[in-house]
Amino acid sequence: MRRSPRPEGLRSKDISFGPKRSRRWGFLHKKSQTLIQLLEATSTVTFVVAENAKIDIRSLQLQEIEKAVLEFGEPLYRARQIVDWLYQKRVRSFDEMTDLPRKSRNRLAEQFNFSKIDIVRVLGSRDTTRKFLFRLSDGNLIESVLIPASPALYGSRSDRRTICVSTQVGCAYGCKFCASGLEGFSRNLKPNEIVDQIIAIERENGEKIDNIVFMGMGEPLANLENLLRAIKIINAPWGLGIGARHITVSTSGLAPQIRELAEEPLQIRLAISMHGATDEVRGQIMPINRRYNVETLLSACDYYAERKKQRLTFEYILIEGVNDSDEQARLLGRRAKRLSAKVNLIPYNTVHGLPWSRPSKDRQEKFLSILRERGVAATLRREKGHDIDAACGQLRLQTKRELEAASS
């Protein structure tokens, strides 16, 4: 099974408790040494350290921060204070952690990064879908979408505030209809850059978010390690405290990583970007289908659904004249029945520069009715946000093009 590539600039290293141990931990109070042994005995923590740059403090799990503070020779409760400043009080620098001794704050700043993401553009008004364009600390642009009251599509109540989060800068998978893939792939997002999208939007919007969908820019399962780190922080009671059942990961169909995800204890939801019921149709618009065809994908989905005892969701964009025939609807219905999956139909959002469009309302309804006649739980997203180009990747693309035009 192929593991997802190691995140850029990071390497994992198990903290060694070999012969050097007494030297390394000798300076610690005896009680702290016992705590280290306890932590060591109860977990197999992989400590991620930066190779070129310091790791961001908000990429770490509580246990890793605990290890770090013990290593500093500080009491274990310091770690709780730190995560409280990070995720409850939501400070933006170590300096603001005012109940930590100055020495601790300095040590944290020496050891860890505390990067920021800045909102550079917002589209949409407060009571509608809003799009946020962020600049990362290295200047790259990403975007997230806030949907104020999403329909009950992913097992959530209908009054939930949902954020559609990005996991990569660009995307390498090049689906023919998608704005995110148009300019190729730049890099994986780090865990803190994933978590920060939620924190920044909550801060800007002044409301607590209760539903997360990984349907922004990028392929989440191609950045699996960082994605899981971020999800654990989003889910943890010491972190953002959002329930796993209110977190949905969408994938274009990376079959091996779907199986890998099935081994994770977290009960997050999985959505599959199906967009075609046969290899012929799916392969035309999604190059990934050449690597993992419909049958390979479905068998990975079978495995996931069985292992997690969970109903998956098939996302299906309706594109006029491409995948919206009655025959595709019938076959999609058959595939969905096999897995007891729900189907979420999404009328295509036009992307500037791409030739595709959404079918007529009648065609959309017909497609839906074929699925429902077969007993498939299907919804048609009569979505908000079409007017502000809600499909992810478009605001970034538009901004990049405007900047290029302005500088030429």
Stretch that binds ligand SAH, among 53-61, 117-125, 198-206, 247-255 (CB under 6 A): 247-255
Q: Which does 215 bind (CB under 5 to 8 A by kind): ligand SF4, ligand SAH, none?
A: ligand SAH
Q: How far is the CB of 19 from ligand SAH (least distance, A)?
A: 46
Six-digit token pair at 243? 């329930």
Q: Which backbone phi and psi does 160 adopt, to 5 degrees?
A: -85, 145
Judge whether 367 and 324 are in contact, CB under 8 Å.
yes
Sign of the CA dihedral with 227 first, then 228, 229, and 232 last: positive
Q: Is residue 323 within the footprint of ligand SAH (CB under 6 A)?
A: no
Catalytic center residues: 143, 392
How many of the other CB atoms lie within 10 Å of CB of 170? 22
Q: Is residue 144 within the footprint of ligand SAH (CB under 6 A)?
A: no
| Among 192, 252, 257, 323, interactor with ligand SAH by CB under 6 A | 252
Alpha carbon 17 to its chain centroid, in Å, reads 34
Tell me whether residue 70 or residue 392 sits nearer to ligand SAH (CB atom): 392
| Among 100, 169, 336, 351, interactor with ligand SAH by CB under 6 A | 351
Tell me whether residue 132 or residue 348 sits nearer to ligand SAH (CB atom): 348
Alpha carbon 225 to its chain centroid, in Å, reads 11
Size of the site for ligand SAH (CB under 6 A): 15
| Among 144, 162, 211, 250, interactor with ligand SAH by CB under 6 A | 250
Positions that interact with ligand SF4 (CB under 6 A) = 171, 173-175, 178, 180-181, 218-219, 252, 273
Angle at 298 between CA 274 and CA 309, to 5 degrees: 105
Angle at 115 between CA 403 and CA 65, to 5 degrees: 155
Q: Is residue 317 within the footprint of ligand SAH (CB under 6 A)?
A: yes
b/e code 175-199 from CB counts within 10 Å (16+ = b)? bbbbbbbbeebbbbbbbbbbbbbbb
x/- contact string, 377-396, with ligand SAH (CB under 6 A)? --------------x-----
Using a 10 angstrom Cβ sphere, with 0-12 exposed, 13-18 middle and 19 or more buried, the burial of residue 72 is middle
Residues at the interface with ligand SAH (CB under 6 A): 177-178, 215, 219, 250-252, 273, 315, 317, 346, 348-349, 351, 391
